Structure 1
């Protein structure tokens, strides 16, 4: 407990009444002063004793079953009005990474049976979010004290990557990104896998006509094909220190993880299988390919608590580990940020993976580098900076060329554009029959 303002004011008045006693030596006044102090002490003691015996307010916290990083979520605290006093101070023990929740705050009982308080919580980091108990500072009956009361409400809620875009229908292949050796020849009804028989439509090729069905029906019947299903997409996430740099409000690894999850979601919608592997992290992780719309929940639960480490990226070791896990042909998407010293190690990894899989290397380009390449230098120092960046970009392009000659597909884009571009490339590869 701690004294409230009313008790402090009473003590201050009682102390101020002692000043006349210094000027007048009156035994009666002194006795009255001490008696007044005793009354204040007794009243304060009884008020504090009653407050100590008072139970904590009946309260519960209501949270979403899962949170999304950097997205605001509503947290509701429901209290029984009969157990709540006017002027109670509520301090919810949330994880503490959001300074703008508006807590602690004063609450008073509503006229209804339940009093509800809502506040917005915006998690800043993925992983398990630890919520503690609900803490109340309750005023005593006479307002002389405030007592700390705790209502048990500790819980842990997972904070996932920002998967709000998973439900959006913006992931398509409406924009063409050219890949070496990839040619799309869209023809109605033609694909890789038989789907159904249907009546002949003008424009169908002779190869689509099912002559046996045509003879039975005595009318032209065409075969309709669809993109082959049950293929595999394996996502290799670089968990080394190179993706730990901040990019906006997130890290490069957060952007890479978002792109990987969106690509996995798209593959699952196409009835393909999606799996993931983290390499060069503190805890390397392998999630075998899964299928079905519920597979995204499996991937989210397996990846949401990952964070980049301080280790250097080892691509050849990661390639050997992936080949040990599976050799069935798949589209392997390696998401990283290439550097000049990666050349030999990366070439070894691509050569090993190419024996069994189709390899796509996604190189993350920092927005600052993209802006620097377009900047007109204003002085000598800026000219040196632009020149150094141009030299680095030239070396990066040379590495891209070597990777393409080794049989890998390469794309380079900013973190914000990577989810859409990877999805478009995957759909183009699937429809072209290369997957």
Structure 2
């Protein structure tokens, strides 16, 4: 049975058969072709049996291995490596098929190459998952053929390899290096002018050109007989919570990724930055119920807890209960904290329904409401209308876009900080708002 399951006939063999059939047909009129056709048939049968012997004389003629990372990063390009080698004594033609997880919906994977004995080759390809969860890779299938290319033998390796897809670890690492080197003002993050001295005192140091002369410490200057200045740092160990709305408004997809996953990826990178800047970070996910609550803690190892919780967050089809969120925060978060609320409002009436709860939260905490521009509408607005129907569509799109700006103005009127952003710019703008609030001492 193993022989039958691994035995396949190459397409080249059927081309030989068609040539032989043509010879037999022509021999009806050209008589001398008849014995030649039979000789070619016997030769083909001999080559067929010889090719079978070449491929099956060696027990395990091909070795192959798929190398997967321990975790795949959602919405990012993830490299997959395949290593293969041959034990056949001849040049082997291989065709590799990797059974990708069903989430990718890709059924045309095929890689062809040739390899000689003692040689080891590597084939790399990339995948981009757009959903969190478990991804199961099926069989790694290799078809081997001899130089005759009449028969091919099937080899199967590594059935059902599971790898989890976590929130964007790659994006988190990108901002991690910037936080360590204190270079978060790069990659599009704007520099914030610091107002006053709301920061904690750190040390007294020698004056160097560029220091603020308003921070001169005259007593220390008199003692040292040289200019000395006070150095300040941002206040540390302040609680910061990322609050993610998991209701139906966050199910809208952009570039194959749901708004919820954009928020989760941003939350992971943002939490890492706050921890590196010595603040406490926590997490709340809610819709009809409070699905996840992680108290704010200032430990680097706390990031693993947040990562696991973000991995398990699901999307619901219900309207989110902001009243329940307010009650939970009132009971659980007693100290003034920075609250970054990831949600979305498509119409100003939806905002006004939740506005009383947002105002109540902003009285005790520093609330930042983050919601999304509809980038598909922006594309429609930027295109020229060529007919009446296109004019209608463009007018409606402009109205929806204006509503978003009106919602932002409405929140700012009540002193609530806002971030209106395109989904792909969410992480940059969330971190930027955090740096602005810290620099201005609003928390």
Tell me which interval the TM-score lies in, with the shorter structure as reference length: 0.7 to 0.9
List alignment gaps of at least 5 residues for structure 1: 24-28, 177-183
Question: Any residues of structure 2 matched to 1:30-429 within 5 Å, and which?
Answer: 40=45, 44=49, 47=52, 51=56, 54-55=59-60, 57-82=62-87, 86-95=92-101, 103-110=109-116, 113-127=118-132, 128-139=134-145, 144-152=150-158, 154-159=160-165, 160-161=167-168, 163=171, 165-166=174-175, 167=177, 169=183, 170=186, 174=190, 185-186=194-195, 190-199=197-206, 204-205=213-214, 209=217, 222-280=229-287, 284-291=291-298, 296=303, 298-304=305-311, 306=313, 308-338=315-345, 339-370=347-378, 380-389=388-397, 391-392=399-400, 395-397=403-405, 399-429=407-437
Cα offset for 1:186?
Answer: 3.9
The 8 Å contact of residues 173 and 424 in structure 1, kept in 2 or not, is answered as yes
CA contact (8 A) 2:51 2:148 kept: no
Question: What TM-score do the two structures reach when normalised by structure 2?
Answer: 0.74
Tell me the TM-score normalized by structure 1: 0.75
Distance 1:411 1:73 in 2: 30
Aligned partners of 2:290, 2:153: CA distance in 1, in Å?
A: 45
Q: Secondary structure at the match of 1:54?
A: coil
- Do the aligned partners of 2:241 and 2:281 also contact (CA within 8 Å) in 1? yes
Paired residue total: 416
The offset of 1:7, in angstroms, is: 5.3
Distance 1:214 1:74, change over 3 A: closer
Point out the more displaced range, 399-408 or 373-382: 373-382
Cα deviation for residue 81 of structure 1 reads 3.1
**Deviation string, structure 1 residues 116-149 (Cα, Å, up to 9, x no partner):** 1323213142323322231112337975532322
Aligned partners of 1:293, 1:327: CA distance in 2, in Å?
23
Change (3 A) 1:322 1:58: farther
The offset of 1:91, in angstroms, is 1.0
For the aligned residue pairs, the C-alpha RMSD in angstroms reads 4.6
What is the rounded CA distance, in whole Å, between the counterparts of 2:148 and 2:427 in structure 1? 61
Question: What CA distance in whole angstroms lies between the structure 2 residues aligned with 1:171 and 1:19?
Answer: 72
Question: Are 2:9 and 1:3 equivalent residues in the alignment?
Answer: yes
Provide the C-alpha distance between the structure 1 equivalents of 2:150 and 2:16, rounded to a whole number of angstroms: 9
Query: How many angstroms apart in 1 are the aligned matches of 2:401 and 2:24?
Result: 82
Structure 1 residues 287 and 145: CA distance shift in structure 2, 3 A: farther
CA deviation string 1:267-305 (max 9, x = no partner): 233221222333238993334434355655554444256
How far 1:205 moved relative to its partner?
4.3
CA contact (8 A) 1:173 1:428 kept: no
Shift of 1:228: 0.2
